[in-house]
Structure 1
Amino acid sequence: MEVTKLIVTEKDKKTLIDLIRNSEAVDPIAAKCRKKLYEELKVATVIAENEFPRKVVRIGSVVTITTPFGRKAGLEMVLPQRADIQKGKLSVLSPMGTALIGYAEGSDVSWHFPQGDEIINIEKVDNDIEVFPHG
């Protein structure tokens, strides 16, 4: 199985690393997910903002995913302080958020959930919305 590196912009990489370094994850699953994302970010492929692929999940992307627990459409990837899952705003530091960031539309991503490791399929990535400032 081919190991795929995350794809990020330099700005998103710095933002995510700073968030992870300055966050307190009490929940062991969240801590494990953040550690895995941190390790992946260290070796991620960094792409210039103007060359970033339109179908890769990043801060501000709106995604449609399928998990073993069902399909979720219109989830916006946001910074933790803007997270509100009831309004479809998924924190990039949540277990699911850390699973999605940096992966492309069509990818199957294995990640840690309370029930164990599960596969998330990224059905659609929309980066056509205006990305809010984050750093």
Structure 2
Amino acid sequence: MNDRNLPHLSGLPPALIVSRLDCERLEALLDTPLAAATDHRGLRRELDRAEIVEPAQMPADVITMNSVIRFVDESSGEERQAALVYPRDADGSAERISILAPIGTALLGLRVGASIDWPLPGGRSARLRVLALGYQPEAAGDLHR
């Protein structure tokens, strides 16, 4: 087992994998007035450090855009299931997390079993651990969703 498969245990962020298609779409999103109106340097940093792979080569245990994720906030013990979506698909419900939200940015590219510490508004932070993927577009053959 290599380090990429290990949960986040040190102060370093876990490795992350992003599909080329998701990366291209997210880069374009970051250039829009919607993204420019707020600070999304965290998403830019995550994309800059990500390993980019072709959609057909995406491992089935990695969170991609439109994936349905089950995760736990290890600080509160709260378990949630939600889809990671583009802002146009976010409806304000807890079941749809925008990639532009801090928690959405934190989840992108993580593998099942990985944990990440992520700062939240108000100086708080959350430690999230990915429990399962209920749906991943690439694994389902939906490569161009």
- TM-score greater than 0.5 by the shorter chain: yes
The alignment partner of 1:120 has SS state of strand
Q: Which has the larger radius of gyration?
A: 2
Equivalent in the alignment of 1:109: 116
RMSD: 2.1
Q: Aligned letter for 1:48? A: E
- Distance in structure 2 (CA, Å) of the matches to 1:92 and 1:86: 14
Q: Aligned letter for 1:82? A: D
Is there any run of 5+ residues in structure 2 with no aligned partner, and where?
Answer: 1-9
On the 8 A contact 1:60/1:131 being kept in 2, the answer is no
2:36 is the alignment partner of 1:24 = yes
Q: 1:3 to 1:79 in 2, by over 3 A?
A: closer
On the 8 A contact 2:85/2:96 being kept in 1, the answer is yes
Equivalent in the alignment of 2:72: 66
Equivalent in the alignment of 2:132: 124
Is there any run of 5+ residues in structure 1 with no aligned partner, and where?
Answer: none
Q: Deviations over 1:83-130 (max 9, x none)?
A: 024261211111110110011111111111124222011111231557
Give the TM-score of the pair, scaled to structure 1.
Answer: 0.81
Bigger shift: residues 3-12 or 89-98: 3-12
Q: Aligned letter for 1:9? A: S
Report the count of equivalent residues: 127
- Distance in structure 2 (CA, Å) of the matches to 1:102 and 1:119: 16
The alignment partner of 2:36 has SS state of coil
Shift, 1:37, TM fit: 2.0
Q: Which runs of 4+ in 1 moved over 4 A?
A: 128-134
Equivalent in the alignment of 1:55: 61
Q: Deviations over 1:12-61 (max 9, x none)?
A: 111112212321344xxxx2xx2122112112111121110111111010
Q: Percent of counterpart pairs with the same letter?
A: 24
Of residues 10, 17, 20 in structure 1, which corresponds to 2:20?
10
- Distance in structure 1 (CA, Å) of the matches to 2:129 and 2:142: 23
Equivalent in the alignment of 2:100: 93
